[in-house]
Every structure is written in structure tokens, then in C-alpha cells.
Chain A
Amino acid sequence: MSMQAKLLRLTISVVTIATFFAALHGYRNSQSHLNKLFDKELVTVTHFMAASDNFSPQPADPTNSFLYQIFDKQNRLIAKASDAPEYPIASIAKGFTEVAFNRSQWRVYVVSTDVKRVLVAQSMTERKSTADDILLVTITPIVFSIPIIGLLIFYVVRKSLAPLRLLSRQLRNKNSEDLSPVKISHPTKELVPVVDRLNDVFAKLNDAFELEKQVSANAAHELRTPVSVLSIAVNNLATAFANNNITEKQLRELTQGVARMANVIEQIINLFRFTPENFANKLSQVDIEKILQEVITNNYSALEEAKQSIELNSQPSLTYADPFALYILLENIVRNAIKYAGEGAHISITVHESYNRLLIDFDDSGKGLLEEERQQLTQRFYRASNQTDVKGSGLGLAIVKRIADLHGASITFEEAPTSGLRVRVSLKKAKGDRSGA
């Protein structure tokens, strides 16, 4: 059952029940008041008849609700209303009583003087119907107002539930294709956080789907190509084995193919590990110098293979980061430098402070990049046009950008003083440190 129908049903029932009880109470009240009023009238009439000496009998009047009997001291009937019976209708000497005759109930008042006894009776049916009439007059407008109240309530409920209905309709039309934010024009106060949170979730979900789409489109290519390279290399080796002329070059190619495959897989694992959804935001104080030393140490053999040299100019510099994520970020930049700077290049890493930021410059003495190519660098899977001989997954900088975003760090690409590329990472400095080693 809809909330609206539930609310309507509940309020209208409550109003009806309340009206009913009000009417019941009113009926009882007015009846007792009426009884007092009728009694008073009865008393007045009786006393009047008792006081008047010459009382002439009246013809029967069907509209008259009163009947009377007058007896003398010897209890003989002196006068009576035409409808009244011959015998005394009540035996008491004075006061009120209720008796039954003429097939109905009567209220009787008796007054006795020195010479006579006067009995006046009034029909109870008459009294009841008068009370009913009065009640009807008071209750009728209330009864008629119930539907109007109902309509009013219906209108108010419907109007105040309108944003909710809108939200529900928009949500019903949602699917994984459409994760646009829901829009409620005048949300009630209670709905604002609901709509806000929902839109947050939609945005996150949308990002995740977007990433998934991009990655699965590109990952397929990035993963299948090295597998093809491997399978061809193995096939060539098998042929060479049959001909007994396996060369060292073939083995080296196989090794390179394996390394490439391993690299792509690592990158894809990293890309999925550092998504906002599973980044727990547990930042701790880390020393960038230590991490950079570790990165250089772990990538030294690749550097040596490319006959490159490296230097690190820094002092202990603290920032808040997830150490593992920061390691991956810095390692990706260093690896890119090693990969693209070319043989014999020199890589220089410098850490310095500017206001409350820590700037890490990765300068290489390679051939550098054109201005527009630098701008495009952070785009996922983008690979510079002047590189055709180096095989990369194109995922590295996407990972760098993602980790940077998670840490509120920025990455910029400039021309290095050494004519190569300068990658600058700007991180927030940890507060209150000027720590020495």
C-alpha cells in the first residue's frame, strides 16, 4: 500500500471516529438538557392548571403533546383531556413519575392542592423525537464536512509527498546505463540528505563503471598482445629447437615478452587496487626520501641495463600518505623516466619545499615531449607519438593520476632544464615537521 493511501486512510478514519464520538457526546448532553427543559415546561403547565379554578375541558388536539387529568378530594375525575383515560394515570400525590398507557411511555407530573389533584403527562416519544431533531441539525454539517476534510487532507498529503513521489519515479527508471543524479526541485528537509547521498553513490558507481568500461576495452588489447608475442616466441623457439639452432636473441625476446606481460598485469592490479571505493583513506606520516630511496634501489637493475645514471637530492620530507600507494606512484614515474628517457640518460630527482607543499621534480635528459603531448599525458592509455619502439601498457600514468587524486596531490609536466621531461609531483607537507634524519 502506498504511503499516500496509508496516510489518507489513517487520517480520514481518525477524523470520522472523532466526529462520531463528538456526536455521541453531544447527543447525550443535549438530551439531558432537553429533559430538564421539558420537565420545567411540564411543571409550569401543571401548576398553571392547578391554580386556575374554572377549567373547561378542551377538545382533543393531536398536535398537543400534553394530556391532563384533574381529580377532586374524593378522587373523582373532574376534567381530563379527551385522549386521557378515565382512571388516574399515576397514584403518587406529587412529583414526577413515568408511566405507560395508550401504548406509549409518558412523563407525568402531579400537583395536589386543598381541593384537587392535577396530573399532566407528556409523551416520551415526543421528547425523543425532538431531541433527535436537534441532534440532526447539529450533526449534519459535521457529517457533510468529513468528505471535505478528507479532500483537504488528500490535497495536503499529496502535495507534501510530491517530492518523494518524484524521487520514487526517478529511481524506478534508473538502471546501470543511466546513473545521472536524481533531481528534486523543492526537496523537503528530510529528503535533502537522502537525495545527496544517493547522488554521491550514483556518482561513485558511475565512475567505477566508466573505469571498468575503459579498462576492459583497453586491457583486452594490452593483455592479449603480449600473450600473442609470447605464444609466437615459443612457437619460433620450438621451430629453432627442431632445427637445432636456438639463438640467444630468441631467448632474450622470450624474456622480454614475459617481463612485458608481468608489467601489464602488475599495472592492472594496481589500477584496480587504488580506486576511491577501496582506498580506506588510512593516511600515515611517511618520509618521501625513504620511499624514493626504496624506489631507486628496487629499480636499479633496469636503470643499469639502460646504462642510465640517477641522483636523488633531498632531505627527510614528511607528508601524509598511504605508504604503499605513494611508493607505486613514485615508482611509476621513475620507471617511466627509465623507460622513455633513452639509453645513457641521466635522471635527477629533487625534493624541495614551497610554502606548505612538497615538490618532487623528476628531470631526465631524454628528448622530452611537445607541449600538447605533455597535456595529454595523464589521459589513461595515452602513449606519446614519438615512442614506437618502447612497449608500455599505457596504464602507468593513469595509476599515477589516480593515486595523486586520492592524496590531493597534483602532477604537472614541464620541460626540464636538461631539455628532457620534468614530472613534478606536488604533495601536501605534513604539519609541524622539520625533522632531521
Chain B
Amino acid sequence: MRILLVEDDIPLARELKTSLNNQGHAVDHVELGQHALSSAVTQDCNLVILDLGLPDMDGLEVLKQLKLSNKGLPVLILTARDGVENKVTGLDLGADDYLSKPFSSEELFARIRVIERKLGTNDSALITIANVSLDTRANTLSIDNADVRLSRRELMITKALMEQEGRIQSKDNLESKLYQWGDEISSNTIEVHISNLRKKLPKDFIHTIRGVGYVVRKI
């Protein structure tokens, strides 16, 4: 994937570029918001990684203008600022994801993978955890290369859990994913689906964190 990195801290940009290159991404680096805007128009890029603290203009303003010129261009925000307001404003302005410094490269790669899958540009839309493989494009699931039939809702839940492996998905979170499809949900819908999924998936594949939610652990 071709990534436009907008970051004014040179050492951070250099390291990010190296690690993104290692992941097989092509990276163009600019240091100023103005350059980011002109590069995004003239060059072909699939993703913008935008630092909010830029020397020439407010990063949120850059985000706004980027989204004005190309609504479909995914933008991942980096920031050292804290405060929930900033995050909310960023996401309201159309940012696709938000990472606050300090972040690990793994975290960044995971976020990029999610965006890639959303775009459908990922060469392999296949997520494999242990012996379970999920093809996010074909929406099929296999265990030890043997296809397993899942209902659409079960697949949605599995996808949410597997895409964010190692991260707890709260019941609310999973419910809202189903809501997006306009489904009617009763209070125990998620529990029912999880219980059905457990019968089809390997033992202990989906963990319950009591009082919090569900997680598919990293192997």
C-alpha cells in the first residue's frame, strides 16, 4: 500500500518509514500540512498517516481539507495531545482511526491492516489465528482448512473479534456492529450467538472476560 506520512519529527518519521517499508508499504514523507495537501492531490496514495501537531497548520484543519478533496481517502491520526475531545473531533471530521503517542509499531500495523481490509486492497484478506482462518472478502471461515458454515450474524461477530485479536470487544461494541446492519437485537442476542459459535469453533477460541466482553487471544 502507498502511504503518505505527515510527521514533522524527523527521527520518528525515519523509523516509521523503515518499519512501514519492512511491512511492504511504500511511504512518501512530508513534514508540513501544506505539503501534505498538495501531495495528496497530485500523488496517488491509499492511506494518510497524519500527525496532528504540525508546525505550519493545525492537523485537524489538514484532515478537514483532505477529506474535502477526497472523501474516500482513509486517514489515520497520530497525536501526542490527550483529551477525549481531540479524539472525538478527529473521528467526527472523518478520520478512520486514532493512535496516541507513544504507540507501538504492532498497534500501528494492526490499525493499517484493518483499514486495508476495509479498502479491500489487502493482498491477503485472510486472517488466521491458530487453526482458524477467516476470509474477510469471501466471508468464509475454515478450521484446519475445512469450511465451517456460520450465519451472517455469527460471521460478523467472529470477524469483529478476529480482526482485533487480543483486544476485548464489549457486548455493546458487538451489538452496535449488528445494529449497523439494521438488525433487531434483544438483550441476550450476543450471548446466544457466542454460545452457538463456541460449539462450532475450537474450545477456548473465544474467551469471556466477565463483566467486560469477549476476546480472541493472540497466539
Q: Which residue of A has the minimal Cβ distance to B102?
A: A262
Q: A296 contacts the other chain (Cβ, under 8 Å)?
A: yes
Pick from A265, A297, A304: contact of B217, CB below 8 A: A304
- Whether A312 pairs with B210 at a CB distance below 8 angstroms is yes
Q: B11 contacts the other chain (Cβ, under 8 Å)?
A: no
Q: A310 contacts the other chain (Cβ, under 8 Å)?
A: yes
How far in angstroms is the closest Cβ of chain B from A161? 50
Pick from B82, B168, B217: contact of A296, CB below 8 A: B168
Binary interface encoding of chain B residues 200-219 relative to chain A, with 1 for a CB under 8 A from any of its CBs, else 0:
00000000011111010110
- Whether A312 pairs with B212 at a CB distance below 8 angstroms is yes
Question: What residues on B are CB-neighbors of A314 within 8 Å?
Answer: 211
Chain A residues numbered 274-310 whose CB sits less than 8 Å from any CB in chain B: 289, 292-293, 296-297, 300-301, 304, 310
Q: How many B residues, CB 8 Å from partner?
A: 16
Q: B83 contacts the other chain (Cβ, under 8 Å)?
A: yes
Interface residues of chain B: helix, strand, loop or mixed (majority): loop
Q: A349 contacts the other chain (Cβ, under 8 Å)?
A: yes
How far in angstroms is the closest Cβ of chain A from B13? 18
- Whether B212 pairs with A293 at a CB distance below 8 angstroms is yes
Binary interface encoding of chain B residues 21-62 relative to chain A, with 1 for a CB under 8 A from any of its CBs, else 0:
000000000000000000000000000000000000000000
Binary interface encoding of chain A residues 335-349 relative to chain B, with 1 for a CB under 8 A from any of its CBs, else 0:
000000000000001
Cα-based distance from A289 to B171 in the complex (angstroms): 13
Pick from A289, A310, A323: contact of B209, CB below 8 A: A310
Cα-based distance from A323 to B168 in the complex (angstroms): 20
Interface residues of chain A: helix, strand, loop or mixed (majority): helix
Cα-based distance from A236 to B195 in the complex (angstroms): 51
Q: How many A residues, CB 8 Å from partner?
A: 18
Binary interface encoding of chain B residues 92-110 relative to chain A, with 1 for a CB under 8 A from any of its CBs, else 0:
0000000000100000000
- Whether A324 pairs with B83 at a CB distance below 8 angstroms is yes
Cα-based distance from A289 to B210 in the complex (angstroms): 12
Question: What residues on A are CB-neighbors of B217 within 8 Å?
Answer: 304
Question: What residues on B are CB-neighbors of A262 within 8 Å?
Answer: 102
Q: B167 contacts the other chain (Cβ, under 8 Å)?
A: yes
How far in angstroms is the closest Cβ of chain B from A300? 5
Q: Which residue of B has the minimal Cβ distance to A255?
A: B104
Pick from A300, A301, A311, A323: contact of B211, CB below 8 A: A311
How far in angstroms is the closest Cβ of chain B from A280? 12
Q: B84 contacts the other chain (Cβ, under 8 Å)?
A: yes
Q: B166 contacts the other chain (Cβ, under 8 Å)?
A: yes
- Whether B211 pairs with A313 at a CB distance below 8 angstroms is yes
Cα-based distance from A313 to B166 in the complex (angstroms): 21
Q: B136 contacts the other chain (Cβ, under 8 Å)?
A: no
Q: B170 contacts the other chain (Cβ, under 8 Å)?
A: yes
Question: What residues on A are CB-neighbors of B212 within 8 Å?
Answer: 292-293, 296-297, 310, 312
Q: Which residue of A has the minimal Cβ distance to B103?
A: A262
Task: Please name 17 further chain A to chain B contacts, defined as beta carbons within 8 Å, in addition to the given A293-B211, A300-B168, A310-B212, sorted by A numbering.
Answer: A292-B211, A293-B168, A293-B170, A293-B212, A296-B209, A296-B212, A297-B170, A297-B212, A301-B166, A301-B167, A304-B217, A310-B210, A311-B210, A312-B211, A313-B210, A313-B211, A314-B211
Give the 10 A-B residue pairs with the shortest CB-CB distance, closest first.
A312-B211, A311-B210, A297-B168, A296-B212, A262-B102, A293-B212, A300-B168, A312-B212, A293-B170, A301-B166
